[in-house]
Structure 1
């Protein structure tokens, strides 16, 4: 027996903050979530899997776009043509609101209802498989849903599809349908296919309890390889193997500018660092210039103002694309101001640049989800502190202080 576990497709997701990308790259960015799922379907057909599990958030919004629905319908039909059944659930982003507004899915698609269900199938090699799961009836499912899952009975293999969060584990995602590993183990299932958390991870090796993650990262917080799990039978065990499919990867690249006295030197150093990146897919890059405290205030100003980033973004792209969406200068040393006690500065900075203070000041900006996500980034306090240091250095230089460097 062999099957695919994927989740959190988020078809037709808007990639925010990248509108300045070149037209050809923007088109690839827009199509990225669709392309990733098409690759999963390609793999299912090539591997001749027995079935496919899709665990919640197939769409990015409850108001499914016609394009996203047509695309899902077409891909599921490809699986139907290959005689591969699909077992899918809807999550907190695409909960079941108005099924009358949805395009019909092919007969090979089995959708879990909001009150839970178990589907049964017999594989080509005669294995009896039971699949249990549920779909969200509303955006907020905050109760433990594991009582809806029956205990394994006579099936050769039983698989649970659960879109939710592990209880008591800190996460950037909202806590929905909380569960514990102990609860899941009490069901005696052979595999738990999880969704909702976008980072692929194996919570338990045997029996496997696995988050597939999302197959395409959509913002800087979803960096690194993205894909699905191919799950194969080995005796009475099911073994998951991660397979990447993302066509675009988010990456942070650190580049030292120690000793640079000219802007051209910095540009050449960045270009040389990017040339060493060997990933086959397109990269959306945040470039962090380290050792930037050695730069002159004039160079720092050209970086902080966005002038250097604008120049780099206008350079011709080569395949595979490497496009810089953010450029920051990282200053690790404190400024050498004659009238500024460094100990006092460090203590004050640690008190002022905290996540709580930033959240309070920026509260009016936190309603849009993408801004709320940015404000939750762990490195934001350090980034803001470094930017203030740069501004202080620059203002001191403009005032004519010889010690500004």
Structure 2
């Protein structure tokens, strides 16, 4: 006997962080959650599963129109034609209070009620599914104590939308502990709400499939559902089904290997090429590039965010413009050392004074306060469009004190690079 465990599908939810960029793959962004769900339905039919469980957050809140509901009904119709039943539970995003529109679902779809936990029995398979939907989005009560007793001799599956203990990064909806799940005696807990894949397999198996499609840079890597195989009352196998159509990656570039900007860009190109090779050929990749480490290219990487972004995009376009999209470029590098002073003369003396200032200013409280006040006044006068184009300046306006030492170091590095270049030109 086989079934699919899915959760957190968030149909028609936008992919955050991409649509604001003019070169984003708009059509793929708009339809990604639908395409992922279509792929899941196709896998269910291909694997000839006995049923599918959806453990909450099918929708992402109320529909803008009926097209979201019609799409879901159409997919359920495909499963109905294949003889596949669906057991659907609503979570915090699609609770009764959150989705005001509704459509009659095909008769192969059973919905867990919100008023109390209920059991659906599949007599031919000797399977009992226990679950309770959310009535309100902010369901903070522990629902597990109200779940029915297990059906002896049958495979018991608990369906629950919960944060579960230890998942502090997710809102604490329907909180419960692993010990409470074990105490129920069900052989399998089909959970939803946490968007990461996690499985604890044993006499009692507890599983999160993760969400079907990553929606932003905090949801990197593969996403999909679980294909669960059982024999009698035993869970014998759990396979991961990857059905996402756009995959997020945070690409760390060790800039310590780069002496200048061309070196840094070559490293990006090599890393992007390797990423393309290791991912499935159909997969679109949304990539955030982050330069890190102490590097000789530090000053060049900081000179212009806009130019750096376009240089990195150029590397992606040269490799595969249909599959690679650069979401953002971050620079978190440090200079190898303070720039070397000019060899001799008045410039050397001035540069030495600047080096001493960069080293001691952060510890001179009165000087630091005066500098911060002047710096803050300048930042407050900058037009909004300038701050929008230079987010690092906006950040400094919020935290000038913490940024003082680093900014002095960076300024001196840039000054050293430019005076060095000028000296070379004179020679």
Give the TM-score range, shorter chain.
0.7 to 0.9
Q: Given that residues 154 and 232 in structure 2 are in contact (C-alpha distance below 8 angstroms), is that contact kept between their aligned partners in structure 1? A: no
Give the one of 208, 215, 220 matched to 1:218.
Answer: 215
Q: Which residue of 1 aligns with 2:48?
A: 48
Aligned match of 2:391: none
The answer to whether the aligner puts 1:121 opposite 2:118 as a matched pair is: no
Q: Secondary structure at the match of 1:339?
A: helix
Task: Name stretches of at least 5 consecutive residues in structure 1 with no aligned partner.
Answer: 346-383
Per-residue CA distance 1:99-133 (angstroms, 9 max, x = gap): 772122111110111022111113xxx42111110
> Does the Cα contact within 8 Å between 2:261 and 2:297 map onto a contact in 1?
no
Q: 1:139-154, aligned counterparts within 5 Å?
A: 139-154=137-152
Structure 1 pair 404–395 and aligned structure 2 pair: CA distance change class (3 A):
farther
Q: Alpha-carbon deviations, 1:138-189, whole Å to 9, x = none?
A: 110101001221111245211110001213x142110000111221122211
On the 8 A contact 1:300/1:390 being kept in 2, the answer is: no
Give the equivalent residue in structure 1 for 2:229: 232
Separation in structure 1 between the aligned mates of residue 5 and residue 360 of structure 2, nearest angstrom: 54
**1:247–1:205 distance in 2 versus 1, CA, 3 Å:** farther
1:31 CA drift (Å) = 1.2
- Could you state the TM-score of these two structures normalised by the residue count of structure 1? 0.80
Does residue 289 in structure 1 map to residue 305 in structure 2?
Answer: no
**Cα root mean square deviation, aligned:** 3.0
Unpaired runs of 5+ in structure 2?
Answer: 339-354, 364-399, 422-427
Q: Give, in whole Å, the separation in 1 of the partners of 2:245 and 2:227.
A: 18
Contact 1:12-1:65 within 8 A present in 2 as well: no
Contact 1:397 1:404 in 2 (8 A): no
Taking structure 1 as reference, are residues 163 and 385 closer, same or farther at Cα in structure 2, changes over 3 Å only? farther
Moved more, 145-154 or 315-324: 315-324
Residues 1:22 and 1:402: Cα distance change in structure 2 (over 3 Å): closer
Identify the match of residue 325 of structure 2 among 320, 323, 326: 323
CA–CA separation in structure 2 for the residues paired with 1:99 and 1:323: 33
Alignment of 1:200-279 (within 5 A): 200-238=197-235, 239-258=237-256, 260-277=258-275, 278=277, 279=279
- The residue aligned with 2:132 is 134
C-alpha distance in structure 2 between counterparts of 1:79 and 1:342, whole Å: 70
Q: Distance in 2 between matches of 1:275 and 1:300?
A: 24
- Judge conservation of contact 1:232–1:240 (CA < 8 Å) in 2: yes
Cα distance in 1, alignment partners of residues 195 and 40 from structure 2: 16
**Contact 1:258–1:294 (8 Å) recurs in 2:** yes
Give the one of 409, 412, 416 matched to 1:396: 412
| Structure-2 change in CA distance of 1:390 and 1:287 (3 Å) | farther
2:417, 2:100 → 1: CA distance?
A: 70
After TM superposition, the structure 1 = structure 2 runs for residues 336-347 of structure 1, keeping only pairs within 5 Å, are: 336=338, 337-341=355-359
8 Å contact from structure 1 (residues 208, 240) kept in 2: no
2:193 is aligned with 1:196? yes
Contact 1:331 / 1:389 at 8 angstroms: preserved in 2? no
**Gap change, CA 1:40 and 1:387, over 3 Å in 2:** farther
Instruction: Give the C-alpha shift of residue 248 in structure 1.
Output: 1.2
Distance apart, 1:397 and its partner CA? 4.8
Structure with the higher helix share, 1 or 2 = 2
The answer to whether the 8 A contact 2:129-2:156 is kept is: yes
Q: Retained in 1: the 8 A contact 2:63–2:99?
A: no
Q: Is the contact between residue 264 and residue 297 of structure 2 (CA under 8 Å) also seen in structure 1?
A: no
Superposed CA deviations along residues 31-84 of structure 1, whole A, max 9, x for unmatched, are 111111111111111111110000100011134642221111111110011111
